[in-house]
Amino acid sequence: MSANPVAQPVPATTESRRAKPDLPLYDGPGAISGGRWLVVVAACAVSFAQLVLLPIPGGAAIQQWTHAILFPLIPLLALAWAAPSGWTQIFRTVRLRQVLQMVGFGVLNLTVTFTVASALNGVVGGNANPSGDLLADASLGERLNFFAATIPQLLGEELITILPLLALLSVLVRRFHWNRTAALALAWGATAVMFGLLHLPTYGWNVLQCLLYIGLARVFLTLAYVVTRNLWVSTGAHIVNDWAMFSVAMSLPAAL
């Protein structure tokens, strides 16, 4: 009589190996509590407010860099306090694939928003970003400084959108017991609207432009994070998007 064979571990399937982790910090053992989420969201509000309310002594470059650095730093510090051992989960490794994803989502965003803006421009109208005019008259050094400073600036824009999204998702799922899909859809839409409205001063208080164009762009930038679970990817896509638009606005007067 043969001995019973030793049980062998079942190899992981392709699906299980490739399964992405869930969005972080909103549910499960590592979730941030409701009170701590309030602090994180408040820090996002403070970081945005300092862009227009905090006086910085010194020249324009010093002011720009100080605001740009504080913008992501404030919410990151709050997040590190709220989740000391898990705050880095919003970031993942960046390799060639992630760089290609940055470019892909950035081009997708540009294509969709340009198509919609072209179709609705006669109804909605549109105001140009004033940075385009400033760049058109700037020196090479000033242009390089501007583009470099947008890197921490756009990381900040990603943080003040994705962190409130995760906070709202946490409240809806853990406190009100919503279905995850419905909760994510609401959080996604609400933060896109918020992001659009935050741009009202930049675009001459044109509500439709900010909601339809900027809000739509935010939907696709958030898609980059939801798909990859990597804030570096959505930030990179945001940089691709904005640098392309600023480059066109900067060069168009010269071309004309």
Alpha-carbon distance of 215 to 192, in angstroms, equals: 5
Alpha-carbon distance of 251 to 136, in angstroms, equals: 7
> Which residue in this structure is represented by tokens 């501007």?
146
Residues 6+ apart with CB under 8 A from 27: 169, 170, 173, 174, 180
Residue 253: per-residue pLDDT: 53
Alpha-carbon distance of 222 to 237, in angstroms, equals: 10
R_g of the chain, CA atoms, integer Å: 21
Taking only the tens place, the pLDDT of each residue in 191-213 is: 999 999 999 999 999 999 999 99
Residue 19: per-residue pLDDT: 64
Predicted TM-score (pTM) of this structure: 0.90
**φ/ψ of residue 65, rounded to 5:** -70, -40
- Give me the residues of the chain with pLDDT under 70, please: 1-19, 252-256
Alpha-carbon distance of 143 to 104, in angstroms, equals: 25
183-210 burial code (b ≥16 CB/10 A, e <16): bbeebbeebbbbbbebbeebbeebeebb
Q: Where are the alpha helices (DSSP H) in the chain?
A: 14-18, 34-53, 60-82, 96-124, 130-136, 140-170, 180-198, 207-209, 215-228, 231-255
For residue 105, give Cα distances in angstroms to 20, 31, 109, 134, 140: 18, 28, 6, 27, 28
Residue 22 structure tokens: 């869930």
CA 53, 54, 56, 62 torsion: positive or negative?
Answer: negative
Q: Which amino acid type is present at position 64?
A: Q
Strands (DSSP E) contained in the chain are: none
Alpha-carbon distance of 238 to 233, in angstroms, equals: 8
Q: Is 98 exposed, middle or buried (0-12, 13-18, 19+ CB in 10 A)?
A: middle
Three-state secondary structure string covering 121-181: HHHHCCCCCHHHHHHHCCCHHHHHHHHHHHHHHHHHHHHHHHHHHHHHHHHHHHHCCCCHH
> Which residue in this structure is represented by tokens 């945005």?
48
- In this structure, what DSSP letter does residue 58 have? S
